[in-house]
């Protein structure tokens, strides 16, 4: 039962409350980390489904999407409860806000993986020499970049380490460059093999989903910068305000 208004809280009760509050913050961070790891795995599995015509892998991605949505609902609900009941301030407040924002980007990245998995199911067993096969190297490379960017960003969120935001930004730029190169290659395929025009467009959408996953990873990194410094860099460009990397010399 809550203490009556106006009465002092004894030290034992206060200590218990602080421990419970710290535990809730830790649990919130751990849930976000688990959700982020699942999202990064979704990227890898979805591309595997596409490149290997693996219907079982695609179905696994679609089933896991429900878990991602459940994580988002739980984490956002707990964030709101902490804000309402504990009224956190300073770094604790930034932690809750950063995690709440980050899980939105994680959920959206999960949606992009779902799109790739659905495309994999739709094309499984068809057009064996189609664009997704021609683009095997680009798809694989972009998937590796996207999943790495997501894992780095989520680990940074868990540790409260804004210095790695530079690395996430680098991976996102590499994804953008790979995407542009892949588009040029697909244009050549479309011009030389008109019968594959629809498949070309479908492959573009799969590549675009990977590029967007990189964007969401960068957003998570920007939320970490806010958590650590209190600076909102989402609209500043080029990660301005991100702590510089320490020199190795």
Helix 165-192 × helix 136-159 angle, to 10°? 160
CATH value at residue 44: 1.20.58.220
Looking at the chain, list the stretches that DSSP marks H as alpha helix, in order from N- to C-terminal side.
11-51, 55-86, 90-123, 131-134, 136-159, 165-192, 197-229
Residue 192 belongs to domain spanning: 16-229
Residue 204 lies in a domain: yes
Residue 185 lies in a domain: yes
Residue 7 lies in a domain: no
Instruction: Give the angle subtended at the CA of 196 by the CAs of 190 and 198, to the nearest 5°.
Output: 95
Q: What pTM was estimated for this model as a whole?
A: 0.83
Residue 244 lies in a domain: no
Residue 5 lies in a domain: no
Q: What are the angstrom distances between the C-alpha of 85 and each of 8, 22, 80, 82?
A: 18, 13, 9, 5
Per-residue pLDDT tens listing for the chain (249 residues): 444 444 344 445 555 567 778 888 889 999 999 999 999 999 999 988 988 889 999 999 999 999 999 999 999 999 999 888 888 888 889 999 999 999 999 999 999 999 999 988 887 765 555 566 667 888 889 999 999 999 999 999 988 899 988 899 999 999 999 999 999 988 888 788 777 777 778 888 999 999 999 999 999 999 999 999 888 776 665 455 455 444 333
Q: What's the number of domains the chain is made of?
A: 1
Nearest by Cα to 35 from 115, 116, 102:
102
Residue 248 lies in a domain: no
DSSP at 3:
P
């Amino acid at each position: 039962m809550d203490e009556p208004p106006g009465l002092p809280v004894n030290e034992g009760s206060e200590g218990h409350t602080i421990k419970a509050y710290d535990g809730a913050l830790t649990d919130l961070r751990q849930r976000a980390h688990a959700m982020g790891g699942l999202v990064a795995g979704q990227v890898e599995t979805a591309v595997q489904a596409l490149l290997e015509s693996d219907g079982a892998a695609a179905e696994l991605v679609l089933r896991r999407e429900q878990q991602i949505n459940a994580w988002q609902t739980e984490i956002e609900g707990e964030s709101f409860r902490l804000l309402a009941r504990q009224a956190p301030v300073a770094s604790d407040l930034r932690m809750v806000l950063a995690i709440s924002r980050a899980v939105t980007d994680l959920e959206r990245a999960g949606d992009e993986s779902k799109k790739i998995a659905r495309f994999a199911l739709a094309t499984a067993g068809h057009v064996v020499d189609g664009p997704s096969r021609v683009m095997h190297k680009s798809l694989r490379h972009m998937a590796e970049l996207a999943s790495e960017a997501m894992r780095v960003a989520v680990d940074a969120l868990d540790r409260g380490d804004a210095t790695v935001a530079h690395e996430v930004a680098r991976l996102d730029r590499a994804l953008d460059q790979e995407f542009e190169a892949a588009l040029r290659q697909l244009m050549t395929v479309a011009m030389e093999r008109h019968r594959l025009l629809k498949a070309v467009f479908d492959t573009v959408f799969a590549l675009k989903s990977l590029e967007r996953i990189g964007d969401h990873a960068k957003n998570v990194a920007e939320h970490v910068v806010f958590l650590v410094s209190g600076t909102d860099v989402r609209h500043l460009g080029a990660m301005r305000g991100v702590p510089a990397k320490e020199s190795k010399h």
